[in-house]
Amino acid sequence: MKHRLAFAVLCALAPLPAVAADGARYTAIFGGKNVGHVFVTTKGDTSTIDYDVKNNGRGPTIAETVTLGEDGLPQAWAIKGTTTFGSKVDERFERSGANASWVDSTGKGTAKVDAPAIYVSQSGSPWSDEVYARALLKRHDLSMPALPGGTLRLEKGATLDVDGKGGKLQVMRYDLSGIDTQPETMLLDADNRLFAAVSPSFILVREGYEGEEVRLRKLAADWTTERYATIQREIAHSYGAPVRIRNVRVFDPVTSALGDPVAVLVNGREIAAIEPLGSPATPGEVTIDGGGGTLVAGMVEMHAHLGQNAALLNLLAGITTVRDMGNDNAVLDALVQRIDKGETAGPRVVRSGFIEGKSPFSANNGFVVDSQDKAIDAVRWYGARGYWQIKVYNSMNPAWVPAIVAEAHRLGMRVAGHVPAFATADQMIEAGYDEMTHINQFALGWVIGPGEDTRTLFRLTALKRLPALDLDSPKVQHTIDLMVKGHKAIDPTLGIHEMLLLNRDGQVPPGAVDYLGHLPVGARRDAMKQLADTSAPGDDEAYRGAFDKLVDVVRRLHERGVFIVFGTDTGGSFTYHRELELYQKAGMSAPEILKRATFDSAQYLGQDQRTGSIAKGKLADFFLVPGDPTKDLKAIKTIAMVVKDGTFYYPAEAYPKFGIEPFAPAPKVTLPATPPPAAK
């Protein structure tokens, strides 16, 4: 769980009342489980905030101190602690008259505040939503410039009644935008005090009102749906006529090369024809000028945890299919239904049934079980609902895995997953896993001992031991041999390991160089914060060496013929583009990577008869880029058009709704002068 916001306000507004003397207490709930808290204590003009959340063995631990000035606005704000993955936080903001200064992970900043402006902190608690909202509510247009950049806006929604130990309350919904690619939704009481911060999967709610959690998550899902349904109506183009995309070259996965310039025709959901470039148009066609660019079949993101925001952003990035690797089953089911009906935009979804063992470190997705029988029941539940595979997670009892695998295979499902704590990759391969998940999970058994617990951040920090590992050693070769002989696949998620091991405070991450400047200010600052704690002597070098070693492991697997699937675990979209780039470091060519991301992945999922390549009779699932990605893979980052199931999307129209600067203009579209003749 991540929440970045903490706000200090810099403006000459009417005085605000101080925070209530007794402060406030909030409960964090994820997956129906209490996973932490935010406690606010106020003495005089100073408030202290204790923010501690732990899910899946990790989460932020933050202490904040806020001092209000005479105008009721923050005069000083100090934020210290650790982030979700353990990196240190030491953020400070100070205001003296019209002078503001701050220090965060990106470095130092200063500003002369000649007009009202709001400082957006990088690592504060969700309670800061209250401070933020109260400042914006004093503005007639509910907006204000932000520091270090951008503009923040508050949009008022409906009121609702809530009930709990504190009695019945009426609260008001507000959506806060301008920081990241999606708004934050909060509920304020009649005194404009924070009652809850809500999303479809996570709730922070005032203590005593935890019983409202299910209802509030449902409402948050409905509100999010309203937003994306509106966006869908504004950006989805279904022309109701044949569409001729002229002057394009098509990537052919059979030859792994581009063909000659052609015209690709779409009618309804399908590709109607691929014709020579000079072929005449028929009456009533829509014409799109491809400008000599390249059409590539829709790509497959093989490690998603999909939500509505990510669904649309993935689609705009040329990803028309995702494999969801674990979710709230009901939330995902509702999202899939909306996508299938065309109510909201998103890729088609292949579902993995998430099963976790019960422990103090459990991830609260899917089913959390405490016996082998319950694990088998969960497998059967997923099988009856058409799930493609089962995913096993960290706290699962390794002794139950063979039975899980046997039942899944009996029901026609594959099995993938993490290596459960106190087990090894070798044991999971021998137990029948079809696919290993994450390259760190695959490699950890070579460098940790039998009693070391991987249910915590140790499964990441132990990677510091990798540089000393000899990849030609018998234990390494034995594991790789098991993968080869068993015809197993692996989902390395190299990009998230690059972030974990190479991101450093104040530096543009190597994986975000090409897109960071296009994102909202909050997303940019977040990306420039390291994930791992590298403060101990030698850790920086060890983590860098660990990434090189992981890439080398992937290269060796590829050379031995192990099937590698491309997934991110970081939301996909722009990070998926980087994921593909990284496999060039592992010895794969750009055409080979494009083929794997499209046709090979569709074939792996059993969908190659309808998707994965651009051919007559297949679904119209592809994207247009101006350049040639077979020569420079970076060309996939400048997408001008995406087509999914015959519906056309132009990222240049959609990205501004997320505060994202487009990467390429939309192609020229010419509508027919006269309607097509009626069929007889």
Token pair recorded at residue 330: 């009901």
Position 1 confidence tier, pLDDT thresholds 50, 70, 90 = very low
Domain final residue, candidates 569, 592, 611:
611
pLDDT tens digits, 327-373: 999 989 999 999 999 999 999 999 999 999 999 999 888 999 999 99
How does strand 286-297 pair with strand 647-649?
A: unpaired
> Is residue 15 included in any domain, yes or no?
no
End-to-end CA distance of the chain: 59
> Is residue 399 included in any domain, yes or no?
yes
Position 253 confidence tier, pLDDT thresholds 50, 70, 90 = very high
CB atoms closer than 10 angstroms to residue 112: 10
pLDDT at 186 over 90: yes
pLDDT at 110 over 50: yes
pLDDT at 562 over 60: yes
CB atoms closer than 10 angstroms to residue 616: 12
Name the nearest CA neighbour of 344 among 297, 308, 295, 294. 308
> Is residue 66 included in any domain, yes or no?
yes
Q: Are residues 130 and 197 in the same domain?
A: yes
pLDDT at 640 over 70: yes
Name the nearest CA neighbour of 361 among 55, 36, 31. 55
Rounded-to-integer distance, Cα 40 and Cα 62, Å? 12
Position 71 confidence tier, pLDDT thresholds 50, 70, 90 = low
Q: Are 47 and 65 in contact, with CB atoms under 8 Å apart?
A: yes
Rounded-to-integer distance, Cα 679 and Cα 676, Å? 9
Q: Are 318 and 642 in contact, with CB atoms under 8 Å apart?
A: yes
Query: What's the average model confidence in pLDDT over 77-95?
Result: 92
Domains in the chain, number:
3
Task: Give the per-residue pLDDT at 676.
Answer: 57
Poorest-pLDDT segment among 117-121, 435-439, 634-638: 117-121
Q: Are residues 515 and 491 in the same domain?
A: yes
pLDDT at 8 over 60: no
SS3 470: coil
Q: Are residues 191 and 123 in the same domain?
A: yes
pLDDT at 678 over 70: no
> Is residue 11 included in any domain, yes or no?
no
pLDDT at 6 over 90: no
Rounded-to-integer distance, Cα 401 and Cα 36, Å? 30
pLDDT tens digits, 566-579: 999 999 999 999 99
CB atoms closer than 10 angstroms to residue 386: 9
Q: What is the CATH number of the domain that holds 532?
A: 3.20.20.140
Task: Give the per-residue pLDDT at 674.
Answer: 67
Domain final residue, candidates 611, 630, 661:
611
Q: What is the CATH number of the domain that holds 652?
A: 2.30.40.10
**Please, is 552 exposed, middle or buried when counting C-beta atoms within 10 Å of its C-beta (0-12, 13-18, 19+)?**
middle
Sign of CA dihedral 156, 162, 166, 170: positive
Q: Are residues 404 and 530 in the same domain?
A: yes
Domain final residue, candidates 198, 216, 235:
235
Name the nearest CA neighbour of 579 among 308, 300, 326. 300
Token pair recorded at residue 590: 């750009």
> Is residue 497 included in any domain, yes or no?
yes
Name the nearest CA neighbour of 122 among 530, 513, 456. 530
Query: What's the average model confidence in pLDDT over 438-456?
Result: 95
Task: Give the per-residue pLDDT at 675.
Answer: 62
pLDDT tens digits, 283-320: 999 999 999 999 999 999 999 999 988 999 999 999 99
Rounded-to-integer distance, Cα 396 and Cα 399, Å? 9
Q: Are residues 438 and 575 in the same domain?
A: yes
pLDDT tens digits, 473-483: 999 999 999 99
> Is residue 70 included in any domain, yes or no?
yes
Question: Who has greater pLDDT, 367 or 74?
Answer: 367
Task: Give the per-residue pLDDT at 405.
Answer: 98
Q: Which residue segment(s) compose the domain that 90 sits in? A: 22-235
Position 5 confidence tier, pLDDT thresholds 50, 70, 90 = very low
Name the nearest CA neighbour of 296 among 655, 641, 567, 646. 641
Q: Are residues 309 and 187 in the same domain?
A: no
Token pair recorded at residue 3: 């929440």
> Is residue 7 included in any domain, yes or no?
no
Rounded-to-integer distance, Cα 409 and Cα 151, Å? 53
Q: Are residues 90 and 219 in the same domain?
A: yes
Residues with Cβ within 8 Å of 568's Cβ and at least 6 positions away in sequence, in order, are 301, 303, 304, 493, 495, 496, 575, 576, 579
> Is residue 6 included in any domain, yes or no?
no
Position 9 confidence tier, pLDDT thresholds 50, 70, 90 = very low
Q: Are residues 196 and 344 in the same domain?
A: no
Give the chain's mean pLDDT. Answer: 92
Q: Are residues 196 and 248 in the same domain?
A: no
Task: Give the per-residue pLDDT at 287.
Answer: 98
Q: Are residues 253 and 336 in the same domain?
A: no
Query: What's the average model confidence in pLDDT over 542-554?
Result: 98
pLDDT tens digits, 597-625: 999 999 999 999 999 999 999 999 999 99
**What is the reported pTM?**
0.89
pLDDT tens digits, 115-174: 787 788 889 999 988 888 988 998 899 998 888 888 889 999 999 999 999 999 999 999
SS3 439: helix
What percent of the chain stands above pLDDT 90?
Answer: 81
Q: Are residues 231 and 246 in the same domain?
A: no
- Angle, CA of 280, 283 and 287, to the nearest 5°: 65
pLDDT tens digits, 383-433: 999 999 999 999 999 999 999 999 999 999 999 999 999 999 999 999 999
Position 522 confidence tier, pLDDT thresholds 50, 70, 90 = confident
Q: Are residues 584 and 647 in the same domain?
A: no
